Amino acid sequence: MTGIVMFFAALLMLGIGYPVAFTFGSISIFFGIVAAIVHVAPDVSIAAISSEFMRMFTMMPFRVYSIMNNTLLIAIPLFIFMGIILQRSQLAERLLESMGTLFGRVRGGIAVSTVLVGTLLAASTGVVGASVVAMGVISLPVMLKYGYSKPLATGTICAAGTLGQIIPPSVILVILGDVFQLPVGDLYAAAFAPGFGLVGAYVLFILAWAFLNKGAAPAMPRQEGSRSANIGKALIAILPPLTLVILVLGSIFAGIATPTESAAVGSVGAVILAAMYRKLSWKVVEESALETVKVAAMVFAILIGATAFSMVFLYSGADTIVEEVMTSLPGTKYTFIFLVMLVIFVLGFFIDFFEITYIIVPIIKPVAEVIGLDPLWFAILIAMNLQTSFLTPPFGFSLFYLKGCCPPEVRTLDIYRGVIPFIVLQVMVLFTLVFYPEVFGMTSGR
């Protein structure tokens, strides 16, 4: 029972707001001592407890060393650096302005443009915060100026900004690849169909909303310039980042480069793009590198803390309890899937996807193997579900990102109301992936 209590204690501390890495570390030490006391009882001398505690953590230095030597994880800071450089080169602004001239004349066109730009940003940067803020600063004032419904405008921006969680190159897919011991290239390839299925669902919903409620998303007045000139301007804005996406993802899918090598290519390409846009300077590189170090340090600190957490959890035998409970559930494998998806969805209301990945996935992975679930399909299910953690009130990060940059007349309640339909769409696509995986070219296992 020590491991089960430790699990809920970690959730409580994370919910209160303690730093994730320190929560994992402190919880592991405290409950490691508790587990050692339970194991050596009735001989609870300090020497016996210390000996058992040291035996429990004997492999910890080797685990940390293996994390440091994991070349796959090097892709994380490289992709983060690529995204930050592209964000500072004002890629989003150029794309939004160009897309707006193409689709603005259609009712709901600016919102559709926002989703398409969010898709391209997801495929080129994968940085959710940068995407939401950039589109909030550029696209939101334009939509409000032309009379868009506040919930539709804010919900579209938040949903489009989170596409970087599922559309490659996604950092969460790199982490899931490490946890599931799956090739990241396979995860990237498998995530494409669900990701673009979600994009299609967003676009259809926006067009339907605009059609049924004509005052919610009016068309823009006719812009100056010919149609062909606007198309040419849009292509000029789209081609550079699209070329970078093809270089990064194409090299992975073609087997030319590993994800880490393609991330390095992407970082160099991002620097070249920034130079092309005349936004490259030593200050930009320095600030981007510093921000990358901060984010990457946070990720790896969480990973080391989670490693200690899992060692104590396994030592206490809690993994066996979880496996017995899960495998004895009545019904088919869908009972297990429904329960896991529900837990991840609910946890997404309160904690970040990093914590969910490192707490939940190592616990449920052995059970999924026993049941016979296809690990690739199961990992994509989790990634799709984790994406909702950025949107679900009250602590969805996208909601805070947008609120921090939106005009005063946009209330928090408007943002909450706006994201609800997009959360429903995500759940609908998730259910489709669960029951009809062949639609997305996957199988659920035996």
Boundaries of domain holding 253: 71-295
354 and 20 in contact (C-beta within 8 Å)? yes
Asked whether residue 95 is assigned to any structural domain, the reply reads: yes
Asked whether residue 99 is assigned to any structural domain, the reply reads: yes
Q: What's residue 202's pLDDT?
A: 94
Asked whether residue 240 is assigned to any structural domain, the reply reads: yes
Provide the number of structural domains found in the chain.
Answer: 1
Question: Coil, helix or strand for 147?
Answer: coil
Q: Which residues have C-beta within 8 Å of that of residue 120, sequence separation ≥ 6? A: 95, 238, 241, 242, 245
Q: Which residues have C-beta within 8 Å of that of residue 260, sequence separation ≥ 6? A: 71, 72, 74, 75, 78
Specify the pTM.
0.76
Asked whether residue 413 is assigned to any structural domain, the reply reads: no
Asked whether residue 256 is assigned to any structural domain, the reply reads: yes
Asked whether residue 19 is assigned to any structural domain, the reply reads: no
Q: Which residues of 161-183 are buried (b: 16+ CB within 10 A; e: fewer)?
A: bbbbbbbbbbbbbbbbbbbbebe
Asked whether residue 369 is assigned to any structural domain, the reply reads: no
Q: What's residue 77's pLDDT?
A: 83
Q: Which residues have C-beta within 8 Å of that of residue 439, sequence separation ≥ 6? A: 193, 197, 432, 433
Q: What's residue 426's pLDDT?
A: 92
Asked whether residue 286 is assigned to any structural domain, the reply reads: yes
pLDDT in tens, the chain (446 residues): 677 788 778 878 876 767 767 887 888 888 888 888 887 777 777 888 888 878 877 777 877 777 777 777 787 788 778 877 877 777 766 766 666 666 667 788 888 888 888 887 777 666 666 667 767 777 788 788 878 888 888 999 888 888 878 888 777 888 888 888 888 888 888 998 999 999 999 999 999 988 888 777 787 666 555 566 666 766 777 777 778 777 877 787 777 887 788 888 888 888 888 888 888 888 888 888 888 888 778 777 877 887 787 778 777 777 676 667 666 666 667 888 888 888 888 777 766 677 778 778 888 888 888 888 899 999 999 988 888 877 877 667 677 778 777 777 888 788 888 899 999 999 999 999 998 899 888 887 66
Q: What's residue 68's pLDDT?
A: 76
